[in-house]
Amino acid sequence: MIGEEIRASVFRDTTTLYHSMPENAVAKQLIAFTKKHAGKKILDMGCATGNYSVVLKNMGYDVKGADVNPAYVQRARERGIDAVQIDNGIPFPDKSFDTVICYEVIEHVPDLKPLFTEAKRLAAKNILFTTPNSEFVDELARQGLLYEHFAELDHKNFFTRNTLANELNKYFSDVYIKKGDGISPFALFGTSWIRFVGKVLTKLGIIRPKYHFRLFAVCTP
């Protein structure tokens, strides 16, 4: 196929992606989100090779993992995570966990009802979701910017804050969604020191980003 080498270098196939990623690759924002909202006992639904499970386990959480990819499940087990394969459900009793985390997963799942139903069954306290934010995609594209996560080949769903809320409210009694991981306006500048100043001003709250590339949701079963 013409251009296949470019396709392979730019676009990501999540069925194999996590085998090549560094095993310490986690987003600190997601760890902070977990620390703020999760209970002690966690199910990492869509755990892949276990990066988040391992970090959270080392922080003192009681973590189990689950994934549809058997190769990922095997690798998570090799890393010391009690992981199971998702196949017509997850083999744990009702309310086995304080919190179910489901990070960067729901954009890959064509039929969300079984996932939401199972997460609700297993969580006693809450379910935490993250997913790419698809607001302002056209505007970002005009400026030559798109989120790296949009380069994955198997995305089925593209959420804005409103569409995510509409979907989650069908299944959960209480839903809270916030935008996160803001893009500083200074990121558009080519000069590194200007970008650095922009990061500092954004962190201090002096300037507020217009664009956010991730949505964070806390749901009560």
The answer to the question of residue 195 being in a domain is no
The answer to the question of residue 198 being in a domain is no
At 135, the pLDDT band (50, 70, 90 cuts) reads confident
The answer to the question of residue 63 being in a domain is yes
Is the predicted pLDDT of residue 1 greater than 50, yes or no?
no
Measure the N-to-C terminal CA separation of the chain; round to a whole number of Å. 47
Give the range among 19-23, 67-71, 143-147 with minimum mean pLDDT. 143-147
At 143, the pLDDT band (50, 70, 90 cuts) reads low
pLDDT of 130 reads: 96
Query: Can you tell me which residue has the tokens 């139903």?
Result: 117
Report which DSSP code applies to 12: B
CATH number at residue 119: 3.40.50.150
The answer to the question of residue 200 being in a domain is no
Tokens of 220: 């009560």
* Model pLDDT for residues 175-216, shown as the tens digit of each residue: 999 987 666 666 655 567 666 776 676 677 666 766 777 899
At 67, the pLDDT band (50, 70, 90 cuts) reads very high
Return the beta strands (E) in 28-105 as ranges: 41-45, 62-67, 82-85, 97-103
At 144, the pLDDT band (50, 70, 90 cuts) reads low
The domain tally of the chain equals: 1
The answer to the question of residue 199 being in a domain is no
The CA distance from 114 to 210, in Å, is 34
pLDDT of 3 reads: 45
**Three-class secondary structure assignment of 116-141:** HHHHHHHEEEEEEEEEEECCCHHHHH
At 136, the pLDDT band (50, 70, 90 cuts) reads confident
Question: With b meaning 16 or more CB within 10 Å and e meaning fewer, what string describes 173-200?
Answer: eebebebbbbbbebbeeeeeeeeeebee
Percent of the chain with pLDDT over 70: 69
Strand partners, 65: 44, 83
Q: Which domain holds residue 29?
A: 4-183+212-220
Tokens of 12: 């990501």
Tell me the pTM: 0.81
3-state SS class at 96: coil
Rama region for 50: left / alpha / beta (φ>0; ψ in -120 to 50; rest): left
Rama region for 113: left / alpha / beta (φ>0; ψ in -120 to 50; rest): alpha
The answer to the question of residue 193 being in a domain is no
The answer to the question of residue 8 being in a domain is yes
Q: Given CA atoms 157, 19, 215, 176 in this order, what sign does their dihedral have?
A: positive
83-100 average pLDDT score:
95
The answer to the question of residue 206 being in a domain is no
pLDDT of 149 reads: 57
The DSSP H or E segment spanning 220 is strand 211-220
